[in-house]
Amino acid sequence: MLWNALWQPDVLQALQLSLLTTSCSTILALIFGLPVAYVLARSTFPGRQFIETLITLPTVLPPVVAGVALLLTFGRSGLIGRYLALAGITIPFTTIAVVLAQVFISAPFLINSVKAGLQQLDRRYEQAAYTLRASPFYTFWHITLPLIRPSVLAGMGLAWARSLGEFGATITFAGNFPGVTQTMPIAVYIATEIDIDKAIALAVVLLAVSLGILLTLRLSRTAM
């Protein structure tokens, strides 16, 4: 029964959507998180602690509150959404909303992991590169980034796993539309009321994927 439930079309649809949005959100978190982590780790400026607090805030906010915050920002009458609406762009209750919710919740894990790696890095390697007239970008790409790779991979893994399990902000900001916004956690929640076998199948998949990610991270960090 469990195996049959796993291969139902709506289950596969939720799985595919979750893997797609989770991968997209992790890539976006990496693109956004690397420069932010670098600035926070290497710069001192007024308001730095406040910015660090804002970045960490999504990790302690109730997920539903995070979803409401996203609605207030990207909704049709939101701070940003009102201008997007003028251009005919609607974000809430779309697949893009799922990705944004996942980025909002998971990016702090990546940023904090990379920032910790940068703070622990021996800066003599970078200083040696600068004395050889290497540019800041060349130094970061060829020296700093390889040295903090374990921290980057750990942050990506945590962000990916957190995005995969995201529920509250997603259902508040993106809703529950099969094939569009219904991720695996939402499908589990819905299935518990109508089909317990399907709920168990999805829960097992979520558990297996999360466990696999954590084991891979531990093994890769041990190998490094």
Residue with tokens 């660090």: 52
pLDDT in tens, the chain (224 residues): 556 666 778 788 888 999 999 999 999 999 999 999 999 998 888 888 999 999 999 999 999 999 999 999 999 888 999 999 999 999 999 999 999 999 999 999 999 999 999 999 888 888 898 898 888 889 999 999 999 998 998 899 889 989 998 999 999 999 999 989 999 999 999 988 887 877 887 888 888 877 887 787 777 666 66
Task: List the structure tokens of 14.
Answer: 């939720």
3-class SS of residue 29:
helix
8 A C-beta contact, residue 26 and residue 163: yes
How many CB atoms are located within 10 Å of the residue 69 CB?
18
Q: What contacts 55, CB < 8 A, 6 or more positions away? A: 36, 40, 107, 108, 111, 112
DSSP H stretches of helix in 43-123: 48-60, 63-74, 81-86, 95-120
Question: Rounded to an integer, what distance in angstroms lies between the CA atom of residue 164 and that of residue 203?
Answer: 12
Q: Which fold has domain 2-223?
A: MetI-like fold (1.10.3720)
> What Cα–Cα distance (Å) separates residue 172 from each residue in 177, 199, 213?
12, 20, 27
pTM recorded for the entire structure: 0.89
Question: Rounded to an integer, what distance in angstroms lies between the CA atom of residue 15 and that of residue 12?
Answer: 5
Residue with tokens 């670098």: 38
8 A C-beta contact, residue 172 and residue 67: yes
Q: In whole angstroms, how large is the CA radius of gyration of the chain?
A: 20
